[in-house]
A and B are shown apart, each in its own frame.
Chain A
Amino acid sequence: MPRAKISLYDVESLSILAPDGTVDKNLLLKLSREILIQAFEYMLLSRRLDEQALRYQRQGRIGTFAPALGQEAAQVGSALCLKGEDWFIPSFREAGAALVRGLSIKNYFLYLMGFEDSNYSLKGTHNTAIAIPVGSQCAYAAGVAWGIKLDKKKGAAIVYFGDGATSEGDFHEGLNFCGALKLPCVFFCQNNQWAISTSRKQQTASQTLAQKALAYGVVGIQVDGNDFFAVTQATQEALERARRGEGATLIEAVTYRQSVHTTADDPTVYRSKEEEEEWKKKDPLLRFRTYLQKEGIWDTKKEEALEEKIKEKIKKGYEEAELFRNSNPDPLAFFNYVYEAIPPYLQWQKDLAAKNIEGRNVIKGASEKKGGSGGGAAAVGELEEAED
């Protein structure tokens, strides 16, 4: 037998909304005005939330976090395609998508103030908590999708990760499980060009990340991740494929992390201003706004009103979180969530810990001044500031 090509694979790329706000009408999805406005509202909320959180972080009011800034179309566009029965499995840079899935501003800030308490709001939802170890969520996403399939439910799971995660074993093991077991899962990769200081080129010799799907027998597609319509179109198709029982899809949304990796990062060390400026021209919000304005759906007045509303919403959410922080939350509560029932030896340790902190306010960041109007704030005045 001679040498022969046994197969050739194509990698598709999809782009509908250009950076100048013009659209390819042949590819454009029919979406209602309401959906488009809602999408823009979420995108702007996500942008302003990141900006405000960055300020709060610099002021020491909240801890380290990973801004989604610049990735709003990828996140809001994909998350808006999800229905209630679908499962949302984020990594740690998905505030934009999480807002669409019902994350409150209060719980967003509460988590960034160091309180897992915020995640109790996940009870009964189809959302999982953020996963910090890069790519690790891809492995359990396969399991969630498997559960959906076993129960013959209509839904699908969508898992979010970045370009760096595609080098991790769990990405490959998870995607391979989805291929081999034909699981209803959408692997949504936000290729934001940088894994801290590691560039997309250093990450892999692969021409695209989308093509990694082919090795696992699932569909792969690359989309302009700053293009709301392309993201929505590809996600919709992938979800429908999953719901039809035709298995998983890997979407590579090409976007750009406009801000820091986390607030502990300084991108000026590893990337140029010119590159950042180039990508700002391809900003997802800019082009979506231009499109909406051209279509007569959006105008400056509406945006001013929205800006005001968002500002209020963020402020109120932050204050609610702060109120909780200052309401003397149980500092020992974490002992209760190790096992279903606290084992005797752990109870003994909890009692030791209680003695150890007796009479001291050990909740980091809690303050008597910012106590707000209620919620146990009065008691805080009697407590000392925590030592580091």
Chain B
Amino acid sequence: MSRTERLTMVEAINLGLREEMKRDPNVIILGEDVGVDGGVFRVTKGLLSEFGAERVVDTPLAESGIVGASIGLAIYGKRPVCEIQFSGFMYQAYHQLQSHAARMRLRTWGAQTVPLVLRSPYGAGIRALEHHSESTEMIYTHIPGLVVVIPSGPRKARSLIKASIRSNDPVIFLEPSSIYRAFREDISVDEEDIDSIWPLGRAEVVRAGSQFTIITYGAMLSLVKKTIEKGMAQKGWDPEIIDLLTISPMDTETIIQSVKKTGRVVIVHEAHRTGGIAAEISARIQEFAFLSLQAPIERVTGWDTPVPYFSRENVYLPDSNHIERAIENVLHF
């Protein structure tokens, strides 16, 4: 019998970190305010007292230094999990990610690798300051060698953080801050539970259906589900919902299989439209399932503007109206 607890995503990531730290003494947590403070969102709460100051380290305020040090720790043989306090401050660390974390395996023909995890909150919807609401996953998706993971809720967050720590590739783990505490899920706290690890690079078919495919990830999954439920009740929709979970390398197979079945596709993401993952998904669909398409692919995305300050952030974010309209478009082409 496995025990279950009802956890928020913050608590679920904390659980995953704790489990991995117990399992592997090489797992080290580092970042700004991750120790005594437990992180500004409290994701690393309690880890300092449980695992000690050698394994949970408050670093100087220097993003390139944090990621650079993590690269060195990883080359040395540790499993660093660093936190960048907000994804809007990851740019200073971009150089280390692009130049070293992502390239070390190729540079050394596999002799030295960088199994680090970089965790960072991201996304809009939390009435935050400027630079705290961006969705910049595509910056990292464009770097070969990085894995980009975005959980959509507590259960997946816990399994994915565990898989990320075990991965021998560098993982950018982006946590949608708007769903940190938005809802709870029952989570088995039994480590042997099969659900406790979700493999990187695999999407999940959240709901199987035959009428159209809706592809999303992160905080948008909740919005999509809410919108779909209404449509199912009122209009008899039969959607197939795919949660990407890993943005790069992306699970193309699951998408293509679904498109071949439904022929109609809506893609929803919070990031900017131009060069967003929806553009890449659309390209792959026409590479592998062009003849299955019954309608043009619809994209529901954040606009090609900087995310505005919070009084207007709802205008920037995709909403149910927008998703509904996109679905109607693919259904009635």
Contact = CB atoms under 8 A, between A and B. Distances in A.
B174 interface: no
A344 B69 CA distance: 31
B109 A120 contact: yes
Contact of B60 (A133, A143, A180): A180
B44 interface: no
B107 A129 contact: yes
Interface in A117-133: 117, 119-124, 128-129, 131-133
Contact of A150 (B59, B78, B253): B78
Contacts of A77: none
B249 A122 contact: no
Given A142-B69, A337-B106, A338-B106, A148 B76 contact: yes
Contacts of A98: none
A123 B111 contact: yes
B104 interface: yes
A143 B69 contact: yes
Given A143-B76, A177-B59, A339-B169, A129 B69 contact: no
Given A116-B107, A129-B112, A145 B201 contact: no
Contact of A345 (B70, B112, B113, B250): B250
A355 B189 CA distance: 49
B236 interface: no
Contact of A120 (B54, B64, B77, B111): B111
B112 A128 contact: yes
B100 A144 contact: no
Interface string A176-190: 110011000000000
A169 interface: yes
A116 B253 CA distance: 32
B65 A177 contact: yes
A122 B75 CA distance: 11
Contact of A176 (B65, B80, B250): B65
B99 A136 contact: yes
A147 B72 contact: yes
Contacts of A143: 68-76, 80
A170 interface: yes
Given A340-B169, A346-B249, A145 B108 contact: no
B98 to A, nearest CB: 9
Given A143-B75, A345-B284, A338 B144 contact: yes
B11 to A, nearest CB: 28
Contact of B106 (A169, A176, A334): A334
A143 B72 CA distance: 4
A250 to B, nearest CB: 16
A266 B218 CA distance: 52
Contacts of A324: none
B110 A120 contact: yes
Contact of A139 (B28, B71, B113, B252): B71
A87 interface: yes
A122 B77 CA distance: 14
B105 interface: yes
B62 interface: yes
A235 B99 CA distance: 29
B95 interface: yes
Interface in B99-124: 99-100, 104-113
Centre residue among A128, A133, A140, A337 by max chain B CB count within 10 A = A140
A337 B67 contact: no
B168 interface: yes
B160 to A, nearest CB: 16
A173 interface: yes
Contacts of A150: 28, 54, 73, 78
B145 interface: yes
B49 to A, nearest CB: 19
Contacts of A145: 72
Interface string A289-308: 00000000000000000000
Interface string A153-164: 000010000000
B7 interface: no
B103 to A, nearest CB: 9
A123 B112 contact: yes
A177 B30 CA distance: 12
A188 B28 CA distance: 27
Nearest to A126: B76
Contact of B252 (A123, A131, A180, A345): A345
Contact of A344 (B107, B109, B112, B253): B253
B57 interface: yes
A157 B73 CA distance: 12
B78 A129 contact: no
Nearest to A147: B76
Contacts of B57: 181
Contacts of B109: 116-117, 119-120, 333, 337
A174 B110 CA distance: 25
A218 interface: no
A345 B285 CA distance: 12
B108 A116 contact: yes
Interface in B191-216: 201
A205 to B, nearest CB: 23
A128 B77 CA distance: 13
B76 A139 contact: no
B111 A169 contact: no
A139 B111 contact: no
A145 B71 CA distance: 11
A343 interface: yes
B71 A140 contact: yes
A122 B108 contact: yes
B73 to A, nearest CB: 4
Centre residue among A121, A340, A345 by max chain B CB count within 10 A = A345
Contacts of A256: none
5 contacts: A133-B99, A136-B68, A170-B65, A334-B106, A343-B249
Pairs A-B, 7 closest by C-beta atoms: A143-B72, A139-B68, A147-B76, A173-B65, A343-B249, A123-B111, A140-B72
Interface of B: 28, 54, 57, 59-60, 62, 64-65, 67-78, 80, 92, 95-96, 99-100, 104-113, 144-145, 147, 167-169, 201, 249-250, 252-253, 284
